[in-house]
Amino acid sequence: MVGRLSSGVAADKIGRYNTFVIACGSAGILTLSLWVKAEEDPALIAFAVLFGTFSGAYISLFGALVAQVSPLSEIGFRTGLVFCVSAIPGLITSPIAGAILANAGGWLGLKVFAGSFIVAGTMLTFLARLVFTDMKFNAVF
């Protein structure tokens, strides 16, 4: 709840894409740094709290990103299309994660798989942001 609400407030101040990239990038970095090394309960709890806070931006801002770059007449179509297309990886990655966990990769492989996908998705979103802002790094977008 904290991540979802605070990301909306931050998006109004620094931009939707900027907030999304910062929050999701932080979630990816947390996954690859803290979760990979976490073996004891306190580290796992800290990861869960921090990841939950930062990943809330994905839930609350995903539709807003589409609406920001879409003409008013196409917001519904494009939002539906994006959610439809994003459902495919949502369905495919869970069995892949299960296979990684059950086979040679184990928990470490699963953690690296999850963190890599979060970072890759964040990088693609950042590239889209750069394209829409004509490569302006300091734009509120």
Cα→Cα distances 80→74, 76, 87, 129, Å: 10, 6, 11, 20
- Other Cβ atoms less than 10 A from the Cβ of 135: the count is 9
In total, the chain counts a number of residues equal to 141
Q: What is the pLDDT along the chain (141 residues), one digit of tens a residue?
A: 888 999 999 999 999 999 999 999 999 999 999 999 998 999 999 999 999 999 988 889 999 999 999 999 999 999 999 999 999 999 999 999 999 999 888 999 999 999 999 999 999 999 999 999 999 988 999
What tokens appear for 45 in the block?
A: 């709890």
pLDDT digits (tens, 9 = 90+) for 68-109: 999 999 999 999 999 999 999 999 999 999 999 998 889 999
Kindly list the domain boundaries of the chain, sorted by start residue: 2-132
Q: What share of the chain is helix, strand, coil (3-state, %, to 5)?
A: 85, 0, 15
Cα distance from N-terminal residue to C-terminal residue, the chain: 23
Amino acid code (one letter) for 105: G
| CA distances to 76, 89, 132 from 70, in Å | 9, 23, 11
